[in-house]
Amino acid sequence: MANLSSKQDELERYDSISDVKAHCPDKNCIYVAPLRTLTTHASEKHPKLNVQFRTQKSEYFDQRCDACGFFFYSRSAIYNHKSTKKCEYYASERVKYETWLEEVGTQGSLTLQEQIRDTIKFNHGNKRKSALEYAGDLKRSKFGK
């Protein structure tokens, strides 16, 4: 029973975090998408930057796949990644990246690092502020009467 419910929790956690919107890790890219779509986008559009970004621990990607060394936003995401053979693909992308790194040296890696956003968090600040303002307006009008 306990096992079943913890499994359920994990699934729910996966569902909610995979829907969290974030910026593409590439500073020059305006793409914003839920994490589960973002990972596909980054690996297709920015393969080298993606390997560099995903093989470091970051705010959303904090759980590591032992087989390929990439970081994921949840354990369920790692499970899905392994079961769909993406792990082999990621490992091959990593080999390509490391081969490229040997050619360009440390400078190449530093340049790539500069292209990665400091934070990929998508700012909901404006939306939240207007909702608060709206609540404030309601309150004021209520007490004003």
Determine if 68 is a binding residue for Zn ion (CB under 5 A). yes
- Considering only the stretches 24-32, 99-107, 116-124, 126-134, report the one whose residues sit in contact with Zn ion under the rule CB under 5 A: 24-32
- Considering only the stretches 6-14, 43-51, 111-119, 127-135, report the one whose residues sit in contact with Zn ion under the rule CB under 5 A: 43-51
DSSP designation for 145 = -
In angstroms, give the least distance from the CB of 144 to Zn ion: 48
CA distance 16 to 44: 24
Quick one: which of 49, 47, 44 has its CA closest to 120? 49
Nearer to Zn ion, 51 or 68 (CB): 68
Do β-strands 63-64 and 71-72 pair in parallel, antiparallel, or remain unpaired?
antiparallel
3-class DSSP assignment, residue 116: strand
The token pair at 20 is 């969290």
In angstroms, give the least distance from the CB of 51 to Zn ion: 12
Instruction: Point out which residues bind Zn ion (CB under 5 A).
Output: 24, 26, 29, 31, 45, 65, 67-68, 87
